[in-house]
Structure 1
Amino acid sequence: MLDMSWGEVMLIGGVALIVIGPKDLPKALRTLGQITTKVRRMAGEFQHQFNEAIREAELDEVRRDVEGVKRTVDAAKPGFNPVDTIRNEIRSAVEGRTPTSAAPAAPPRETGSFDVPRPSAEQQASAASSTASKTETGPTP
C-alpha cells in the first residue's frame, strides 16, 4: 500500500473523517475504491497492449528471417531433394564408388533379406577390360 504504516493510514483516516465528515466518508471511500479499480484496469490494459505490440514485433522479425532463409534456399538450388541426395550417397557407398550429386536417382530395387547386391554396369565393364588385358599380355611370373 505505497509503503505506508498503520499509523500513517490512521492519521489519513482521521484527517479525512474531520475534513469530509462522518456522513459523506463512506461515499468518498467507495468513490476512491472505484477510481482505484479503474486506474488499475487501465494500467493492466496498457501493459497487455504493450506486451502484445512487443510480441508482434518479435514475430514479424522472426517471420522476415524465415522468409529470407526460404528465399536463399530457393535461389541456391531449386531442385534440391535431400531424400534423393542421401539415397544416392548411401547407394554409392554400398556399391563402392564415389558419389555424384548430378546423377539421377535410380528407382529402388526390391531385394530379399539375403540377396547380394549385383555389380553395376561400370564395374562389370571395368572387370571385363582388366581380365581381357591380362589374357592378352599373358601370365605374369
Structure 2
Amino acid sequence: MIAARAMFFLSVATTLFWVFGFAAEGICNAEPPLWSYSTAALVAASLSALALFRARPHFLCVPPGTVAGFVRGAVAWSVASYVAGALAVGGVSYWLMVRGPHVSESLRGESASAAYMLALWLPLWFSPAIGLSLAWWKMQK
C-alpha cells in the first residue's frame, strides 16, 4: 500500500512539474527558475494526494493474496494509458502547435518536434498513476 501510494504521488507530482513548467515558460516567454514551478507542483500534488487519501482511506490498499494480480493489472493499465495518452497528447499538441492558425511557417518545424516530445514525454509521467488507479478500481469490482 505504501509503495503504491508513493508511486502514485510521485507520478502526479512529476506530471504537474512538467505541466507547470510548460505553462510557466509559455506565460513568461522565458525559462523561469526551477523552484517556481517545482514548488507549485509539489504543493498541488501533496494537497491533492492528502485530500484523496483522507477521502478514500482504502485507496490503493490491496488484500495480501492479490498483490501479484494487482501489479500485473497496474502494469497493463499503465501501458494502455501511456499509449492512449501519447495518441491524445500528440494529436492535440500537434494540432495546436503545428496546424494552428497562429503558428508561422518558420516555426512549424520546431513546433512539430516540441509536439512529438510532449506526446512521448508527458504520458510517461501520468500513466503510472492512472494504471495504479485503474488496477485498484478493477480489483474493487
Report the TM-score range of the alignment, normalised by the length of the smaller protein. Answer: under 0.3
| Larger RCO of the pair (alpha carbons < 8 Å, separation 6+) | 2
What TM-score do the two structures reach when normalised by structure 2?
0.24
Q: TM-score, normalised by structure 1?
A: 0.24
Whichever of the two has the greater Rg, that structure is: 1
